A and B are shown apart, each in its own frame.
Chain A
Amino acid sequence: DGGITQSPKYLFRKEGQNVTLSCEQNLNHDAMYWYRQDPGQGLRLIYYSQIVNDFQKGDIAEGYSVSREKKESFPLTVTSAQKNPTAFYLCASSSRRVGTDTQYFGPGTRLTVL
């Protein structure tokens, strides 16, 4: 999991602004994921990508957008359409190889809407 980085660590946003969270991995993983974690709750899947130039909606995709132009990068944009964006955002990656299912997480970005 040391091969996944997220930036920034803390992010403050005014209402009505779009913000982009960065996620980079050097593990040569094809699959990447974005999760949202609210206080005292489990992780919920926002978007995932199995391969470059492909991504699918998770369980709570409304108000978020992603791109996957490079294998190493999977940025998440939190748009003004997301009504309650304050949360801890975690990026993860995993290998496509069958039998290697482990998802490795980045250190997270804590987003606060002012």
Chain B
Amino acid sequence: GENVEQHPSTLSVQEGDSAVIKCTYSDSASNYFPWYKQELGKRPQLIIDIRSNVGEKKDQRIAVTLNKTAKHFSLHITETQPEDSAVYFCAASTRIQGAQKLVFGQGTRLTINP
């Protein structure tokens, strides 16, 4: 089955700097790659996603890149702000008829230092 590895497990950056989180996946059939942000004790919230037919996607300060050949994808956050502090999860999935079976990475705890 699918296996997703996420690095680093913790990341600390100065406010205003950029943060990069990387994930690799094992199943070449995976075709959907979402990123979720989770604050302490709260539900995961989708921040950006990318499908396998696209190499890069941007949404304001957040971007995701996908390299299908190497089976890795990355989250880039620019101009970081204190409210970006949270745990970030990547995931990979394959659509099985009407459902998306997501496999998550272990998470990255991002801390933005003022």
Chain A positions within 8 Å of B, measured between CB atoms, are: 1, 30-31, 33, 40-45, 48-51, 58-59, 90, 94, 96, 98, 101-108
Q: Nearest chain B CB to A106's CB is how many angstroms away?
A: 6
Q: Among B96, B98, B104, point to the contact of A42 (Cβ < 8 A).
A: B104
Given A101-B49, A102-B34, A103-B34, CB of A43 within 8 Å of CB of B44? yes
Interface residues on B, range: 20 to 34
Chain B positions within 8 Å of A, measured between CB atoms, are: 1, 4, 6, 32, 34, 42-46, 49, 51, 89, 93, 95-107
Q: Which of B45, B95, B98, B104 is most buried by chain A, counting CB atoms within 10 A of its CB?
A: B98
Find out whether the CB atom of B98 lies under 8 angstroms from the CB atom of A51.
yes
Given A30-B98, A31-B98, A105-B44, CB of A42 within 8 Å of CB of B107? yes
Q: Which residues of B contact A40 (CB under 8 A)?
A: 106-107
Q: Among B42, B89, B100, point to the contact of A101 (Cβ < 8 A).
A: B100
How far, in angstroms, from A31 to B104 measured CA to CA in the complex?
18
